[in-house]
């Protein structure tokens, strides 16, 4: 499927709500539907992009401003510089859909995960909600509710959005 630019949707929710699990379950379903999907994850803490002991980790520890590693099928570039999701989104022009994991307090359109025993209600601005993905009996006017235990429903919802939207976020 070719579109003008990727549709960008955040999969949001409080910590441990099931965002990663939902994205992981939806990815093969979206791929089977012919979509090219990229995921951008925000880490609220510092992460180690080049583990200690690896060659690239050793280069970074020795003072390199950045490293790159590649083989014939994939690559990774690590740079020490500030970055935003807007920049990272531009790195995936081939994508039909870019899922942002997290970003609950941003203006990005969202699927918000609300899971029993973890959260009781959405935390995102209701104006940004495309749908709730939950196992609770929640209702917000004009916001569809998708079952948390049926990721294919959320994947179908996103597929419809990409087709309707033509890739314009």
DSSP string across 85-153 = HHHHHHT-TT-SEEEEE--TTSSS-EEEEE-TTT-SS--S-GGGEEEEEESS---BTTB-EEETT-HHH
Q: Which two tokens stand for residue 137?
A: 């009996």
Residue 71, judged by CB atoms within 10 A of its CB (0-12, 13-18, 19+), counts as: exposed
Contact in structure between 154 and 133 (CB atoms under 8 Å)? yes
Tally of residues, the chain:
169
Mean pLDDT of 32-43: 93
- The whole-chain average pLDDT of the chain stands at 91
Confidence of residue 134 (pLDDT cuts 50, 70, 90): very high
User: What's the pLDDT at 166?
Assistant: 63
65: left (phi over 0), alpha (psi -120 to 50) or beta: alpha
Q: Who has greater pLDDT, 3 or 126? A: 126
CA angle 122-14-43, nearest 5°? Answer: 140
Q: What is the pLDDT of residues 41-97, one digit of tens each?
A: 987 666 777 777 889 888 988 999 999 999 999 998 988 889 999 999 999 999 999
Residue 2 has pLDDT above 70, yes or no: no
User: What's the pLDDT at 50?
Assistant: 74
Residue 169 has pLDDT above 70, yes or no: no
User: What's the pLDDT at 168?
Assistant: 43
Q: Of 89, 95, 88, 90, which Cα lies nearest the Cα of 34?
A: 95
């Amino acid at each position: 499927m070719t579109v003008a630019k990727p549709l960008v949707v955040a999969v949001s929710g409080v910590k441990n709500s099931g965002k990663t699990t939902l994205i992981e379950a939806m990815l093969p379903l979206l791929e089977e539907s012919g979509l090219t999907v990229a995921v951008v994850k925000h880490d609220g803490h510092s992460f180690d992009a080049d583990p200690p002991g690896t060659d690239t980790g050793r280069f970074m520890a020795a003072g390199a401003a950045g490293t790159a590693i590649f083989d014939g099928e994939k690559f990774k570039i690590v740079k020490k510089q500030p970055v935003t999701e807007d920049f990272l989104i531009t790195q995936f022009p081939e994508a039909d859909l870019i899922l942002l994991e997290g970003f609950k307090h941003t203006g990005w359109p969202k699927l918000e995960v609300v899971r029993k025993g973890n959260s009781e209600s959405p935390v995102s601005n209701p104006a940004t909600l495309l749908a709730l993905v939950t196992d609770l009996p929640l209702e917000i006017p004009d916001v569809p509710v998708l079952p948390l235990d049926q990721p294919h429903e959320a994947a179908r919802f996103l597929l419809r959005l990409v087709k309707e939207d033509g890739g314009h976020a």
